[in-house]
Amino acid sequence: VITNEGDFEYDKLIVCSGVTHNYFGNTQWAEHAPGLKTIEDALEIRNRIFMAFEKAELEKDSEKRKALLRFVVVGSGPTGVELAGSLGELAHNTLRKDFRNFVPSDVEIILVEGSDRVLPAYSSKLSQKAVDQLHKLGVTVITNTR
């Protein structure tokens, strides 16, 4: 590994991304928007996604169904981009034939970012590639929005 200090050796590299969720001063969001730091968090998110699909399948009212099929991911760092892309893959590819009362085009996935581009810690070229891939997966990207 090369640093400003020179080379150094190591046996294992551990990258720590933090252990708390950031709701940007809006702690009331926690009830509706679990973080994604643990396996339990991931399972909770997965359960909420699948329950939304199941409820949408049974919902007769088109406006209520539309609301159940709208997913908003806040933050377009690596985790947010991955989650939004996974939702797009799930909705538009994996589950596309599993439901009778809605079609993948009914699913709306929105990725919201406060800065001017997704993956702001990475190069603008990589950011644009990510946006292109997200669009192919049916994700709407909104930047400069808090």
Q: Does 82 qualify as catalytic in the annotation?
A: yes
**Residues paired with 123 in a beta bridge:** none
What contacts 24+ positions apart, CB below 8 Å, involve 55-58? 56/99, 56/101, 56/102, 56/106, 57/99, 57/100, 57/101, 57/102, 58/101
Q: Dihedral of the CA atoms 111, 146, 64, 36 (nearest 10)?
A: 60
Q: Which residues sit opposite 2 in a β-bridge? A: 7
How far apart CA 39 and CA 124 sit, in angstroms, is: 31
Of 82, 89, 108, 113, the active-site residue reads 82
Supply the residues annotated as catalytic: 82
